[in-house]
Structure 1
Amino acid sequence: MEFRLLGTVSVDTRTGPLPLGPAKRRSLLAALLLSANTPVPVARLTDSLWGEEPPPRARGVIQGHVSRLRALLTGAEAQAYGVELVTLGDAYVLRVPETLLDYQRFEELLMLARQQRSAADTVRMLDDALSLWQGPALGGTFTEGPLQAAAHTLEESRLATVEELARAYADLGEHHRAASVLRAEAVAHPMRESLAAALILALYRAGRQSEALDWFHRTRRLLADELGIDPGHELADAYALILRGGPRPGAAPAGGTDAAGASRACLLYTS
């Protein structure tokens, strides 16, 4: 049995996924799984399912969904896996081993990856962590209030992991692979400066300087047009590194441009 939040909220069993039904029921399950083994008050569940405008019969609707979830779990012999949906006063708790939760395994793999001394082992574990994602977190739910915040936090963790994977590829000297990992995310999140900066450096170190510069100027224009801001220090530093012919595997540093000159040149992108 496996509970998935890193994609469409689902429960996989030996005989296939459980028929969870409507989005409200998936939302309820997601709220319980995000606080697995901890009582979740009905008030917080109500906030997760309806936000600030719950219907008059919200409590009864929640009770109905809990009853249906219990029946589904019982039919899937969930107790054999140590899974149980329990009522505790004015709260519900879903007791479930952490090994059955995909987001917990994701976090465990991240922790293990950060403990590795070998970049190759780090790459392998980060790849395994990212392979757990099947789409945007908490898919198929109504992301109101707490669920919206949780989905955002999970997505931020995924993006940070992509950046870590690119750094690990860079440590192996595989800059083309680092650029490949980063490009799709930079396209999907064009104003995330850390992604753009990492992609620019990966392209440059892969010997694709013109692409790196094009990506910088594209991002600079987007930030100016959409947010009315200049690039932050990560983007500016990446640009300055290219201008001064900074460290790049297989290429000698360009002469005649010191760090101060690069900093002055960096100002030219605003003109």
Structure 2
Amino acid sequence: MEFRVLGPVRVIVDGAPADVGGRRSERCLLGVLLLHIGSVVTMGRLTELLWDDHPPARSRAAVQVLASRLRSGLAAAGAERYGVRLVTRAGGYVLEGDPERVDAHRFRVLCDRARTVPDPAGRLALLREALALWQGPPLADAATGQVRREVLPGWEELRLAATEGRLDCQLSLGEHADVVDELRALVAEYPHRERLVELLMLGLYRAGRRQDALAVYEAARRELAERVGLDPTPALRDLRRAIAHSDPALDPAPRAAGARPAQLPPAVPNFTGRDDQLDALDGLADQPGAVVISTVGGVGGVGKTGGGYWHHYFRRRDRSGRLRGAGVRRRFAWSIVANPGCCGPAELVSTGPECGCYQPISAYGWPAMYAATAARG
């Protein structure tokens, strides 16, 4: 069972919607209790939230009726099996249950986790997961005016902060071209959020649009002066100064290089009979000097890939499947060539640093199973 309040109020049981509260007032009661899951909401507070400034004459009885209907709906959906109960306590009601069943509380947990992650890529993944839970304004189909004014602003602030965090991570990862348009729209919607203005200026600057970034600052400065009578914060002024002087500190930090892949595919299970030739290749790989380039040649289907490449490297990896020996210590290049002009079919050849032509190692020595394959092909 899960509950959704970041959008329309919904109860999901086994992946399907459950009809718990048909009336808007019942859904509003459920939504308020879910946002305060585990905490008592008093009768007086519920009266204020459910009916704005016009409660019914017998508001306490009206709340009790709504709670009774909600309790019946939860029972019909099997809420008890999931540890969810509506309980009367201390002059009000508390919805008991695991907060992780409520999307709003999962959102907050993911945001809290993101703040502890130093890597922008990992932080970005958590913030994207958190923001994906939002399907619209909280309690979109149930909130009263009082709920929108007194309960929901805190959740909207959390969403905006998470959005700013996501955009900051994307800028840190060099994705400025992907976020500039979104930032412009957000700045237009929230012109007094200076963090969004900062991010837009930084994104434009990193996209090579320094004058546009400075113009955004001037527009924000005028907006703040005319609408609220304030100057930009020191952080915003410092950013404007850095952009004007093309401060190298504004460039995105270089991303740390990831570990190079060293894992190999499994060995060819039915390759046999080429130990002498593979030993010869081992000897070539262990030669001192520059890059050793080896080529396996032959007609299609003779076993060039299976024999000359993967099986050779299978002999050069440890039990974890990683490369070892000359394949790691020195650069060793391979190519697979079908029907090289100067070599006969099924011939294993190599070239070393001291030679520019093919040097046959052995000819016509492939196992019978591969010879048969070549004959059929």
Letter in 2 for 1:48: L
Correspondence for 2:313: none
Matches within 5 A, 1:57-206: 57-88=58-89, 90-140=91-141, 141-144=143-146, 148-206=149-207
After superposition, give the CA deviation of every residue in 1:42-69 in whole Å (9 maximum; x if it has no partner): 1111122234542212112211211221
Given the superposition, is the C-alpha separation of residues 26 and 234 from structure 1 closer, same or farther in structure 2, using an over 3 Å criterion? Answer: farther
Higher mean displacement: 164-173 or 77-86: 164-173
Greater relative contact order (CA < 8 Å, ≥ 6 in sequence):
1
- Per residue, is there more helix in 1 or in 2? 1
In structure 1, C-alpha distance between the alignment counterparts of 2:139 and 2:233, rounded to whole Å: 31
The Cα of 1:110 is off from its aligned counterpart by 1.3
User: Mind listing any 5+ residue stretches in structure 2 that lack a counterpart?
Assistant: 253-377
Structure 1 residue 6 corresponds to structure 2 residue 11: no
Partner residue, 1:225: 226
Contact in 1 for aligned 2:40/2:90 (Cα 8 Å) = no
Quick one: distance in 2 between partners of 1:184 and 1:11? 33
**Is the 2:3–2:102 contact (alpha carbons within 8 Å) kept by the matching residues of 1?**
yes
Find the residue that maps to 1:94 and give its secondary structure: strand
One-letter identity of the residue aligned with 1:249 = D
Say whether the 8 Å CA contact 1:220–1:231 is kept in structure 2.
yes
1:230 shift after superposition: 3.0
RMSD: 2.2
TM-score, normalised via structure 2 length: 0.61
The percentage of aligned residue pairs carrying the same residue is 39
Structure 2 distance, partners of 1:217, 1:124, is 33
User: In the aligned structure 2, how far is the partner of 1:5 from the partner of 1:163?
Assistant: 22
Q: Decide whether aligned partners of structure 1 residues 150 and 89 sit closer, same or farther in structure 2, where only a CA change above 3 A counts.
A: closer
- Residue by residue over 1:199-258, the C-alpha shift from the partner in whole angstroms, topping out at 9 and shown as x without a partner, is 1112112222233223223323322332233323233222222212223439xxxxxxxx
Moved more, 47-56 or 90-99: 47-56
Moved more, 230-239 or 201-210: 230-239
Q: TM-score scaled by structure 1?
A: 0.82
- 3-state SS in 2 of match to 1:221: helix
CA distance in 1 between counterparts of 2:178 and 2:58 reads: 53
State the AA in 2 paired with 1:166.
Answer: L
Partner Cα distance (2:244, 2:183) in 1:
22
Contact in 1 for aligned 2:43/2:93 (Cα 8 Å): yes
Residues 214, 244 of structure 2: 8 Å contact kept: no
Displacement of 1:102 in angstroms is 0.8
Q: 2:144 is aligned with what amino acid?
A: F
Q: CA–CA distance in 1 between the matches of 2:208 and 2:58?
A: 63
Which whole-Å CA distance do the structure 2 matches of 1:50 and 1:30 have between them? 14
CA deviations 1:53-87 (Å, max 9, x no partner) are: 42212112211211221122112111111111122
* Matches of 2:117 and 2:198, distance apart in 1: 25
Q: Could you tell me whether the CA contact under 8 Å between 2:41 and 2:94 is conserved in 1?
A: yes
AA in 2 matched with 1:205: R
Paired residues in the alignment total 249
User: Is residue 17 of structure 2 the alignment partner of residue 16 of structure 1?
Assistant: yes
- Consecutive unaligned residues in structure 1, runs of 5 or more: 251-271
Q: Distance in 1 between matches of 2:137 and 2:251?
A: 36
SS in 2 for 1:245: coil
Q: What's 1:244 paired with?
A: 245
3-state SS of 1:137 partner: coil
Give the Cα separation in 1 of the matches to 2:186 and 2:138.
15
One-letter code of the match for 2:167? A
Kept in 2, the 8 Å contact 1:162–1:181? The answer is: no
Larger CA Rg, structure 1 vs 2: 2
Q: Residues 119 and 171 of structure 1 are in contact (CA less than 8 Å); yes or no, is this contact kept in structure 2? A: yes
For residues 89 and 227 of structure 1, what CA distance do their matches in structure 2 show?
44
Q: Is the 8 A contact 1:2 1:101 kept in 2?
A: yes
Give the conservation status (yes or no) of the 8 Å contact 1:7–1:134: yes
Quick one: distance in 2 between partners of 1:184 and 1:25? 36
Could you tell me how far 1:94 is from its partner in structure 2? 0.8
Residue identity in the other structure for 2:119: S
